[in-house]
Amino acid sequence: MPNRTRLWGFRHFATRFVNPITRLFAGHVPGFGVLTYKGRKSGKTYNTPVNVFRRRGDYIFFLTYGSDTDWVKNVLAAGECRIVTRGRQITLTRPEIITDPTRSLFPAHVRLVGRLVNVTEFLRMRPA
């Protein structure tokens, strides 16, 4: 069974009601970004707000709902995406799922949230 967090059941509500609001500011606020990628089946372009942090030149995505989400599958299939974070647009490549039960790559407040909702998987990407 794919890794899913305690928030798995909340994802449809978030996609419909939370994401449209978050999308308005996520590209400019630290710890957030707006990911642009193509659907692996539809070819449609999507813009999804995400939690992202920069570590040692890489971009590490906090997988709030786990790795079994469409946006993660789409990015893995395409091998690349674009992100707007802190007002800058960056092309990212080489997506890789990493597992870290200690959540050591994240600030303390994010580790606490990760522990509460059982996030142990993350997506790492590198700038093109």
Q: In which band, very low, low, confident or very high, does the pLDDT at 95 lie, cut at 50, 70 and 90?
A: very high
pLDDT at 127 over 60: yes
pLDDT at position 41 is: 94
pLDDT averaged over every residue in the chain: 94
Q: How far lies 40's CA from each of 26, 30, 78, 95, in Å?
A: 24, 29, 7, 15
Look at phi and psi of residue 115 and say left if phi exceeds 0, alpha if psi is from -120 to 50, else beta.
alpha
CATH superfamily of 8-127: Electron Transport, Fmn-binding Protein; Chain A (2.30.110.10)
pLDDT at 3: 78
In the chain, the amino acid numbered 35 is: L
Beta pairing partners, 60:
53, 124
Domain regions of the chain by residue span: 8-127
At 83 the pLDDT is 98
pLDDT, tens only, 29-87: 999 999 999 999 999 999 999 999 999 999 999 999 999 999 999 999 999 999 999 99
pLDDT for residue 1 is more than 60? no
pLDDT of residue 2: 63
